[in-house]
Structure 1
């Protein structure tokens, strides 16, 4: 056999195999293992009027006294990329959020330094 013909074939097989392995091993979304950016109670939920909106809801969170978190209060935006789960790791949806729920929230991207801060939520953990 000609070595020049075999080398490109092995290269192609290697690239396709690596691509397949990386595509199949995509990590599931997980709650970050860092301190939450805000930890408190939901005081208000304003859901988007249509399903076409990038932001599905805006949620106001009031911090708990005596609980350590990055920010005191926050207005968070929840979109289709936000992970929502309970303390056991069960996946939840926006429909599960209620005013009065205790939540831990991790931010994604830039934080608007207003009072309260505003940011997109990367992950929300509901504590029942």
Structure 2
């Protein structure tokens, strides 16, 4: 009978430790709202506000819903980095700089001005862009 008690304790401890394990971060499973190059960054109190502009360049990728956006990342925004091998790791808002190529998923209402203004639920940093920074097509 004592042996069964110890087995139960060992199984319970194993399950408790498994529950504490952290999983690798993952971006949302849907397509992003915008993909593009960060052309400006400013402080937004508890985060940052940055302009993302899409451009037709293989280094940036396909256009998503918007060609330009003013995106706010706050304390609730999940910020990740995707490496060339496809692995994803945690990042910080300070990793977003002018020339960074990002994907952003909007959360909450989107101001339909041009460029759209939205708060990001998630941002994935894809790399950096070394070419000439684009201007939003609608502002040229």
Q: What TM-score, normalized to structure 1?
A: 0.70
Counterpart position of 2:88: 89
Task: State how far apart, in whole Å, the 2-side matches of 1:107 and 1:46 are.
Answer: 18
Q: Where does structure 1 lack aligned partners over 5 or more consecutive residues?
A: 1-22
Is this contact kept in 2: 1:37–1:105, CA < 8 A?
yes
Counterpart position of 2:70: 75
Cα RMSD between the aligned structures?
2.3
Task: State how far apart, in whole Å, the 1-side matches of 2:35 and 2:73 are.
Answer: 16
Is this contact kept in 2: 1:56–1:79, CA < 8 A?
yes
Is this contact kept in 2: 1:30–1:83, CA < 8 A?
no
Q: Runs of at least 4 residues of structure 1 off by over 3 A?
A: 23-30
Total equivalences in the alignment: 102
Task: State how far apart, in whole Å, the 2-side matches of 1:126 and 1:28 are.
Answer: 16
Q: Where does structure 2 lack aligned partners over 5 or more consecutive residues?
A: 1-18, 128-140
- Aligned to 1:95, the other structure's residue is in SS state helix
Q: What TM-score, normalized to structure 2?
A: 0.65
Structure whose CA Rg is larger: 1
